[in-house]
């Protein structure tokens, strides 16, 4: 291998074919020898991408154990065993095991299962080696291999094109371009962006038409896909906000617990109290302060949200991602396939006489929004006919058109299309499965039918067939006599068909090419001379339509008496009659505009970031409601070439206020996300291509497309939309907000009664120096309350108007100052009522500590369980609210009361929990004092609502 090959990797598009072949010491007809292949395999390694490392089972397990709550409870268990309190120690260990097992299982199930980067390499490739064509595993390709590709192939490595015939490549996964790119061996004169390198094939893209021969110059991690893969590996994701907030809350609880325990130990030791009582009380405080069920309920609440979203076509790969999306303040969305259908459709027809016809696709067939009937317009009828005849595509169930008497032009590579053979059809179907999906899905393909061929030609066939199927079939039945296929140099294609006594010539292509080959223009039903002024007018009209975001084709025709022969048959597209223009658009999804309106109501900014043309992006932005022009803040569209300049400015108002970014490359997407994150935004990023992967990983929440999305994008994302619908993101946002609201509710519920437990123990322990609630009783009670009613709160349906509110401040803690006041208020009310019952039984009725212990336990148990009804919003009805409508609340309460009653009456359990046989008057005291907190809190809520 020559040293120059290293330079070729960077500048292959600027080198001639001879230079590239020389640099890699290879003959394009013979290829490499087996010996040379083995040498290069050792030097460059296999043609594969490096996989991202994943946690193994032990790492997942350790992450569950490495938790402050686990440490604190473990210490409590050790102390219990040290003082020979075996039952209590075992109970704490059981709680620890339950928490660890559930957390482990959740994370294990959420472990990435998609090996997308590796899967992309599991393809076969055709190469020329030692003078023969061979089919090999793509991972065995080396730099210098001569690669042969044809329609349906997935490109296995980066290569410089040597020869090409009608070659079109779908580069949308890499560049974001919505239409196939025409490729040729032509040498570029200057360095250009990836999307404009017409002589290069890129790994991971797909051949949508034609054939080619190329020399491989980069494999594995040295390919364009490899550089993006490396970028993905380097990019780190910020910690999930919910995790941050729960961790902060946990640390604060632990500090409070340790502070109380130390204070009590010191105070008791000074007073000379028994050390076992002091230790036991400290353990009780530990159990009272720490909501053991918090991680369980949080995980299950999030898992429940995952299941709900799965039914709505949203697959969540990471539990916390549901809540994060609920906090999202900015969504960066790709255009192609996300906001649009990734399906080119006939949108506008423009004819001489300034006649513009727009296709309306709302009905079963495209209606033309024009006063004049299109069926009576000569230009429309000719364009209709040309669209069918100057067309190499076929709709599903149809055969591609072929000449009746002559062979079509074949590629010079010797790779003939054996059309119609069964083996060829089977092979083509197998290849289609490998190619990244680009055809519209049944759920969204309302405009176009599916077909085989260039998307523009499929769009033309679909339009004409749906508009008038009888006329479509009549033209489709004509016999083709000659064919001049599309060429990237001439930018036109043409056909000759037998019609009546003569022949009909149909041509279509780029406007400048068709106008140059036309001498007359059809205006209505009359042919006129096509002057230079006319041509200038149509050039300008073509530019105007392009600026609207339309992809434009020009159409021409002529009638001739005899079939061209000889040299004339090789170039028969001249002296044509210009018929008009057709503009195509990748239409927006119908539900997107409404979804974006909901986002606006919810205070979420939606920004389009695309690699596509600014005009196209602006047009789609207008359709869906993203584009908003503000004279003071600029046009509202910013091109990638101007982005760096904006990044460097101190005043970033233009950057922040821009709603559409076009011609953006992967590194710029990353910079945009980082810039907005530095501004304190929680960023959601949607994408489907390989080029989106780094940004998807960097975003706070990466959202990949399930149908059209590449496996690379799905691998690094947090969520996958099965239906590719932007509207599903709105459902996910709503669910995320509901889940966060529910989590906040059950944390307030849990902490308020945990606070009451702490205060009850503190009040009675510091005054009477007796333990009112035993650690094992607290553990039993908390297992009931922390899990079942709290879980029922966590899976509630939420507030119907939640999407009318702005997102929370990303800096807002999981519990606000107002929430802490609520917790303190609830805790004090519970403490006063339960401690009051304890003191009443002790001082008034002179009950022993075993009975007063039971009074405190059962009063607190019942009060804790029905305290769940205090979690309604103040403005909700006392009898009809989120809590009372939640069937799971009633089920949880029924279950908990059943367990509580069973524990009291079953001898073995009642003894372990130190339950006593209680008189009827004791039960009366318990019932009254347990109901009092609910009554007091509800009365205060009613008072606050009314006053």
141-160 pLDDT, tens digit each: 999 999 999 877 888 899 99
Q: Identify the H or E element spanning 941.
A: helix 920-946
Residue 444, pLDDT above cutoff 50: no
Q: Cα separation of 545 and 547, whole Å? A: 5
Tens digit of pLDDT for each residue in 185-232?
A: 988 888 887 878 889 999 888 887 788 999 999 998 888 878 776 766
Burial of 118 (0-12, 13-18, 19+ CB in 10 A): middle
Q: Cα separation of 8 and 910, whole Å? A: 81
Q: Does residue 544 contact residue 583 with C-beta atoms inside 8 Å?
A: no
Q: Cα separation of 656 and 218, whole Å? A: 38
* 582, two tokens: 């057709």
- Stretch 153-178: mean pLDDT: 82
Q: Does residue 193 contact residue 133 with C-beta atoms inside 8 Å?
A: no
What is the SS3 assignment for 845? Answer: coil
The pLDDT of residue 379 is 92
Residue 471, pLDDT above cutoff 90: yes
- In Å, how far from its chain's centre is CA 938? 43
The pLDDT of residue 120 is 37
Q: What are phi and psi of 31, to 5 degrees?
A: 75, -160
Q: Cα separation of 59 and 693, whole Å? A: 25
What is the SS3 assignment for 179? Answer: coil
Label residue 441 by pLDDT band (50, 70, 90): very low
Label residue 837 by pLDDT band (50, 70, 90): very high
Query: DSSP string spanning 761-817?
Result: HHHHHHHH-S-SS-HHHHHHHHHHHHHHHHHHHHT----TTGGGSPPPPTT--SS-H
Tens digit of pLDDT for each residue in 32-62?
A: 999 999 999 999 899 887 655 556 677 767 7
The pLDDT of residue 426 is 29
Do β-strands 314-316 and 719-721 pair in parallel, antiparallel, or remain unpaired? antiparallel
Burial of 17 (0-12, 13-18, 19+ CB in 10 A): middle
Q: Cα separation of 242 and 737, whole Å? A: 12
What is the SS3 assignment for 79? Answer: helix
Mean confidence (pLDDT) of the chain? 80
SS (H, E, C) 395-435: ECCCCCCCECCCCCCCCCCCCCCCCCCHHHHHHHHHHHHHC
Query: DSSP string spanning 557-585?
Result: EEEESS---THHHH----SEEEEEEEEEE
Tens digit of pLDDT for each residue in 546-556?
A: 888 788 999 99
Tens digit of pLDDT for each residue in 562-602?
A: 999 888 888 899 999 999 999 998 888 888 889 899 999 99
Which of 68-77, 146-155, 776-785 is predicted least confidently? Answer: 68-77
* 197, two tokens: 């390198």
Q: Does residue 153 contact residue 207 with C-beta atoms inside 8 Å?
A: yes
What is the SS3 assignment for 623? Answer: helix
C-beta atoms surrounding 534 within 10 Å? 18
Tens digit of pLDDT for each residue in 619-654?
A: 888 888 898 765 555 557 888 888 878 888 878 888
Q: What are phi and psi of 585, to 5 degrees?
A: -140, 150
Closest CA to 552 of 341, 335, 336, 344: 344
C-beta atoms surrounding 600 within 10 Å? 12
Tens digit of pLDDT for each residue in 661-705?
A: 988 877 788 889 999 998 888 999 987 776 677 888 889 888 888
Closest CA to 302 of 740, 733, 721: 740
Tens digit of pLDDT for each residue in 12-27?
A: 888 889 989 998 999 9
Residue 114, pLDDT above cutoff 70: no
Label residue 67 by pLDDT band (50, 70, 90): low
Closest CA to 183 of 207, 216, 203: 207
Residue 339, pLDDT above cutoff 90: no
Q: What are phi and psi of 331, to 5 degrees?
A: -120, 120
Residue 295, pLDDT above cutoff 70: no
The pLDDT of residue 1 is 40
Residue 117, pLDDT above cutoff 50: no
pTM of the model: 0.64
Q: Does residue 216 contact residue 145 with C-beta atoms inside 8 Å?
A: yes
Q: What are phi and psi of 278, to 5 degrees?
A: -65, -45
Closest CA to 147 of 175, 177, 125, 116: 125
Q: Cα separation of 40 and 2, whole Å? A: 12
Please report the beta strands in 706-744, taking only residues with DSSP state E, as ranges in sequence order: 719-721
Select the highest-mean-pLDDT range: 673-677, 708-712, 751-755: 673-677
The pLDDT of residue 182 is 86
The pLDDT of residue 670 is 87
The pLDDT of residue 843 is 94
The pLDDT of residue 587 is 85
Give the CA-trace dihedral at 753, 755, 757, 763, to 10 degrees.
-140
Tokens 């207008």 label which residue? 622
**Helices 726-768 and 775-794: angle between axes, nearest 10 degrees:** 160
Q: Does residue 551 contact residue 586 with C-beta atoms inside 8 Å?
A: no
The pLDDT of residue 434 is 34
Widest CA span in the chain: 122
Count of helices and strands (H, E) across the chain: 34, 27
Q: Cα separation of 721 and 738, whole Å? A: 19
Q: Cα separation of 786 and 753, whole Å? A: 10
The pLDDT of residue 389 is 95
Helix then strand then coil, in percent of the chain rounded to 5, is: 50, 15, 35
Q: Cα separation of 459 and 585, whole Å? A: 10
The pLDDT of residue 629 is 64
SS (H, E, C) 155-175: CCCEEEEEEEEEEEEECHHHH
The pLDDT of residue 294 is 67
Q: Where are the alpha helices (DSSP H) in 176-240?
A: 224-234
Question: Using the 8-state DSSP alphabet, how is residue 375 labeled?
Answer: G
Q: Cα separation of 206 and 451, whole Å? A: 17
Q: Does residue 553 contact residue 391 with C-beta atoms inside 8 Å?
A: no
Tokens 């339960």 label which residue? 834
Label residue 926 by pLDDT band (50, 70, 90): very high
Q: Cα separation of 933 and 827, whole Å? A: 10
**Helices 275-289 and 726-768: angle between axes, nearest 10 degrees:** 160
Question: Using the 8-state DSSP alphabet, how is residue 454 labeled?
Answer: -
Residue 931, pLDDT above cutoff 50: yes
Q: Does residue 691 contact residue 336 with C-beta atoms inside 8 Å?
A: no
């Amino acid at each position: 291998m020559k040293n120059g090959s290293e330079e070729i990797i960077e500048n292959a598009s600027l080198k001639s074919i001879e230079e590239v072949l020389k640099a890699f010491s290879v003959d394009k007809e013979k290829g490499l020898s087996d010996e040379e292949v083995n040498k290069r395999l050792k030097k460059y390694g296999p043609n594969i991408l490096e996989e991202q490392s994943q946690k193994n089972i032990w790492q997942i397990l350790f992450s569950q154990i490495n938790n402050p709550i686990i440490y604190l409870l473990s210490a409590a268990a050790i102390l219990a065993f040290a003082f020979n309190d075996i039952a209590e120690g075992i109970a704490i260990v059981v709680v620890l095991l339950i928490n660890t097992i559930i957390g482990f299982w959740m994370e294990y199930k959420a472990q990435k299962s998609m090996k997308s980067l590796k899967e992309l390499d599991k393809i076969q490739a055709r190469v020329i080696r030692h003078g023969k064509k061979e089919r090999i595993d793509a991972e065995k390709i080396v730099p210098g291999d001569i690669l042969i590709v044809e329609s349906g192939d997935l490109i296995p490595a980066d290569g410089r094109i040597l020869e090409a015939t009608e070659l079109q490549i779908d580069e949308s996964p890499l560049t974001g371009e919505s239409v196939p790119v025409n490729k040729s061996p032509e040498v570029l004169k200057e360095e250009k962006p990836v999307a404009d390198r017409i002589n290069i094939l890129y790994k991971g893209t797909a051949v949508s038409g034609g054939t080619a021969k190329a020399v491989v110059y980069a494999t594995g991690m040295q390919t364009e896909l490899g550089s993006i893969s490396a970028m993905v590996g380097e990019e780190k994701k910020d910690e999930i906000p919910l995790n941050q907030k729960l961790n902060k809350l946990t640390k604060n609880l632990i500090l409070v617990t340790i502070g109380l325990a130390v204070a009590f130990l010191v105070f008791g030791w000074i007073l000379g109290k028994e050390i076992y009582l002091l230790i036991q009380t400290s353990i009780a405080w530990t159990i009272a302060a720490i909501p053991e069920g918090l991680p369980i309920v949080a995980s299950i609440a999030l898992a429940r949200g995952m299941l709900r979203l799965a039914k709505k076509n949203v697959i969540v790969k990471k539990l916390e991602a549901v809540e994060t999306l609920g906090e999202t303040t900015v969504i960066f969305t790709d255009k192609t396939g996300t906001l649009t259908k990734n399906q080119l459709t006939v949108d506008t027809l423009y004819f001489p006489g300034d006649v513009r016809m727009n296709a309306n696709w709302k009905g079963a067939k495209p209606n033309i929004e024009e006063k004049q009937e299109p069926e009576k317009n000569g230009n429309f009828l000719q364009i209709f006919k040309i669209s069918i005849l100057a067309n190499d595509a076929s709709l599903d169930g149809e055969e591609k058109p072929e000449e009746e008497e002559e062979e079509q032009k074949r590629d010079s590579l010797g790779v003939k299309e054996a059309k119609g053979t069964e083996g060829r059809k089977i092979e083509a179907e197998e290849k289609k499965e490998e190619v990244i999906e680009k055809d519209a899905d049944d759920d969204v393909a309302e405009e176009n039918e599916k077909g085989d061929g260039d998307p523009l030609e499929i769009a033309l066939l679909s339009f004409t067939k749906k508009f008038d199927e009888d006329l479509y079939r009549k033209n489709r039945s004509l016999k083709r006599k000659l064919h001049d296929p599309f060429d990237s140099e001439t930018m036109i294609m043409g056909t000759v068909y037998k019609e009546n006594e003569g022949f009909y010539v149909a041509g279509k292509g780029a406007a400048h090419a068709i106008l140059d080959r036309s001498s007359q223009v059809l205006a209505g039903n009359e042919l006129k001379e096509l002057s230079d002024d006319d041509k200038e007018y149509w050039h300008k009209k073509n530019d105007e339509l392009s600026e609207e975001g339309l992809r434009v084709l020009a159409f021409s025709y002529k009638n001739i008496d005899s079939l061209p022969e000889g040299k004339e048959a090789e170039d028969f597209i001249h002296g044509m009659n210009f018929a008009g223009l057709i503009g195509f658009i990748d239409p927006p999804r119908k539900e997107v505009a409404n979804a974006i309106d909901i986002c606006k109501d919810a205070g979420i900014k939606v920004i389009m970031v695309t690699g596509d043309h600014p005009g196209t992006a602006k047009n789609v932005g207008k359709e869906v409601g993203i584009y908003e022009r503000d004279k003071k803040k600029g046009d509202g569209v910013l091109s990638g070439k101007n982005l760096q300049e904006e990044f460097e400015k101190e005043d970033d108002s233009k950057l922040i206020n821009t709603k559409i970014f076009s011609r953006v490359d992967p590194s710029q997407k990353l910079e945009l996300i980082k810039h907005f994150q530095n501004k304190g935004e929680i960023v959601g990023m949607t994408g489907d291509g390989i080029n989106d992967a780094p940004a998807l990983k960097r975003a706070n929440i990466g959202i990949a497309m399930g149908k059209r999305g590449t496996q690379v994008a799905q691998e690094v994302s947090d969520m996958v939309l099965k239906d590719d619908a932007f509207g599903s993101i709105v459902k996910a946002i709503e669910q995320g907000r509901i889940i966060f609201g529910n989590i906040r509710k059950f944390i307030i519920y849990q902490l308020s009664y945990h606070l009451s437990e702490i205060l009850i123990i503190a009040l009675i322990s510091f005054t009477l120096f007796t333990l009112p609630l035993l650690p094992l009783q607290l553990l039993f009670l908390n297992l009931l309350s922390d899990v079942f009613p709290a879980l029922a709160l966590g899976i509630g349906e939420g507030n119907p108007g939640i999407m009318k509110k702005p997102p929370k401040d990303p800096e807002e803690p999981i519990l606000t100052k107002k929430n802490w006041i609520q917790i303190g208020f609830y805790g004090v009310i519970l403490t006063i009522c339960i401690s009051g019952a304890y003191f009443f039984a002790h001082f008034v009725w002179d009950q022993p500590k075993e009975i007063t212990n039971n009074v405190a336990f059962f009063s607190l148990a019942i009060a804790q369980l029905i305290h769940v009804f205090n979690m309604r919003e103040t403005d909700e009805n006392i009898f009809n609210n989120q809590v009372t409508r939640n069937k799971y609340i009633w089920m949880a309460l029924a279950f908990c009361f059943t367990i509580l009653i069973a524990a009291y009456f079953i001898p073995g359990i009642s003894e372990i929990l130190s339950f006593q046989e209680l008189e009827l008057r004791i039960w009366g005291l318990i019932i009254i004092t347990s109901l009092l907190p609910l009554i007091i809190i509800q009365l205060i809520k009613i008072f606050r609502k009314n006053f």
